[in-house]
Chains A and B, each alone.
Chain A
Amino acid sequence: MNEDVAVKNKRLGRNLAIVAIAMFGFGYALVPLYDVLCEWKWIERDRPDAIKAIPETAYEIDKSREVNVEFMTTLNESTPMIFSAEMTQLKVHPGEYHTVNFYAENKTASPMVARAIPSFSPALTSTYFEKVECFCFSEQTFAPHEKKVMPMRFVLNPALPHEYKTITLSYTFFDNTQTAIKK
């Protein structure tokens, strides 16, 4: 092999290796990129950590239509808890504030750390579902056998497109006690 070629080969090899390393980084870059795409509502639904409390604004109440809001509760991995919503369905006018209570109970004799993860369907409605107060904003700690009533206050932004007539809000409780202990 010619000396020049050997040098050229090494250089090209090195450059390609740099590309490979950059692509490894790109794999990680897909994570925030995914959030961006989700925000554009192009690929996916909202990510839970993107949901924050929104200050109460005085919307004009749209009496002309009613939206059926459904509430669902799920326990991940049969977490030893009781978790339910005060009601499964509620008819609301966009612009009107409502508070819905959720009940949770730790059924074990030890403390528990759990996190409720919200999810919307149709996913595109999540931006119009504005929460003023929610137990899902942070991790919840339960004393042994503790029962909690957890209010969730929300409004549907009147900008909600008219085609949406039913919206489901689902909460899944994940038992994070083990992770919390390890941390």
Chain B
Amino acid sequence: MKKIKQLFAGAMLTTFGLPIAQADYALNLMEGVTKVSNDIYDLHMLILWICVFIGIAVFGTIFYSIYHHRKSKGHEAAHFHEHTTVEIIWTIIPTIILVAMAIPATKTMLELDDVQESEMSIKVTGKQWYWDYQYLDSGVHFESHLDEISEKSHRGHTIDPHTVPNYLLSVDRPLVIPINKKIRFVFTSADVIHSWWVPDLGWKKDANPGFINEAWTSVPTPGVYRGQCTELCGRDHGFMPIVVIAMNQGDYDNWVKTTLEKQNAKPDLSDQSHEQLMANGSSVYLKNCVACHQIDGKGVVGNYPALRGSAKVTGGVDPLIGFLQAGTSKMPSFAKLKDNELAAVITYIRNSPDIGNKVGDEIQPKAITPVYDDDE
């Protein structure tokens, strides 16, 4: 029923071009919040209007002749087939227009390119399929994944995306920046090419493995700015959004302080209840494992093995820990996970009804010893 209603709404819109219903109908490029993005917007509007005027002239001429120069109205065909002056004019005029466009375009390009005199640098690493942010000055360093509820919604088919706030455009840990500071971003990738795009900042930049690229921004107003990866990077390319929060210097400084405190705190390795382990394990699984092994633990036939019923998962704990920490040629190492996270996710995959395993145990953080072992 809902589908039919939507279809109907779509059809109405199509026929009448009327803006009805929920979402806002963005038609044009967003102006964005930075000076550069405004300049780009102005450029965009300039070219757009030039195109509109040329379009009106050309299409107007075509429709005029369609209407007046038709045989059914008894119009006799003329016989001219060239006209040097006209041909020269319509080569020269576009050339002049192009030169006129190239001037502001060059200015904006130079502005975009000028990363020097920056006040802080942030390293952005694209990974399949999340972003990794490292603040070079303060040492704040974290991963930014699609938020859990969007993750559950697009994978589980049980949560209606319309009910998810900022579906596919929110993350668990946004990038936080201070306003009015020239911030330099340095991009790289740990696997394939990604591209970091926040339309409000006015640009996107590719993250290439083994190489670095740079770009800069300076945001004048506090706010939340959203974007996405724009270079096809595999299976979950559509699911690695970007959220940037710009705040006042004071708020930002506080944020850095608390974040660093949390970052440097020793992980809590005390024993947890089964429920706690399962709940934490579920979050870890959604961030790190679900892309390949899927929400139901069934994997993808031919690509990624199932965890459901897998002997490696339900068998001995120590080999499993070693396996996760070392990784294989096909699966990355998860040595980055803290002991409590590793314990939780192992408990989760061994016992979750969603994954379809039921060993009936719980692995406590203390049980994790660094065993690092190659699978091959």
A and B, direct touch (CB closer than 8 Å):
yes
A80 partner residues in chain B, CB cutoff 8 A: 325-327, 333, 335, 372
Q: When the two chains form their complex, are residues B190 and A78 in contact, meaning their CB atoms are under 8 A apart?
A: yes
Bound CA–CA A76/B210 (angstroms): 8
B333 to chain A, nearest CB (A): 4
Question: Which residue of A79, A174, A178 is within 8 Å of B210 (Cβ)?
Answer: A174
CB of A121 within 8 Å of the partner chain: yes
Question: Which residue of B190, B214, B374 is within 8 Å of A168 (Cβ)?
Answer: B214
A154 to chain B, nearest CB (A): 17
CB of B65 within 8 Å of the partner chain: no
Interface size on A, residues (CB 8 A): 32
A72 partner residues in chain B, CB cutoff 8 A: 123, 134, 136, 186, 188, 212
A117 partner residues in chain B, CB cutoff 8 A: 210
Within 8 A of B (CB), among A21-61: 45, 48
CB of A89 within 8 Å of the partner chain: yes
A45 partner residues in chain B, CB cutoff 8 A: 211
Q: When the two chains form their complex, are residues B209 and A178 in contact, meaning their CB atoms are under 8 A apart?
A: no
Q: When the two chains form their complex, are residues A178 and B329 in contact, meaning their CB atoms are under 8 A apart?
A: yes
CB of B184 within 8 Å of the partner chain: yes
Q: When the two chains form their complex, are residues A109 and B374 in contact, meaning their CB atoms are under 8 A apart?
A: yes
Bound CA–CA A107/B306 (angstroms): 27
Q: When the two chains form their complex, are residues A165 and B212 in contact, meaning their CB atoms are under 8 A apart?
A: no
Question: Which residue of B121, B190, B325 is within 8 Å of A166 (Cβ)?
Answer: B121
A89 partner residues in chain B, CB cutoff 8 A: 136-137
Q: When the two chains form their complex, are residues A165 and B332 in contact, meaning their CB atoms are under 8 A apart?
A: no
Closest to A162 in B: B116
CB of A99 within 8 Å of the partner chain: no
Bound CA–CA A140/B59 (angstroms): 65
Q: Which 9 A-B pairs have the closest CB atoms?
A: A78-B332, A80-B333, A119-B211, A170-B212, A121-B214, A121-B212, A117-B210, A88-B136, A119-B212
Chain B residues within 8 Å of A, Cβ to Cβ: 115-118, 121, 123, 125, 134, 136-137, 139, 184, 186, 188, 190-191, 209-214, 325-327, 329, 332-336, 370, 372-374
Provide 16 A-B residue pairs closer than 8 Å at the C-beta atoms, listed in order of the A residue.
A72-B123, A72-B186, A75-B190, A76-B209, A78-B190, A80-B333, A108-B372, A109-B373, A110-B374, A119-B212, A164-B116, A166-B115, A166-B116, A170-B212, A172-B188, A172-B210
Chain A residues within 8 Å of B, Cβ to Cβ: 45, 48, 70, 72, 74-80, 88-89, 107-110, 117, 119-122, 145, 163-166, 168, 170, 172, 174, 178
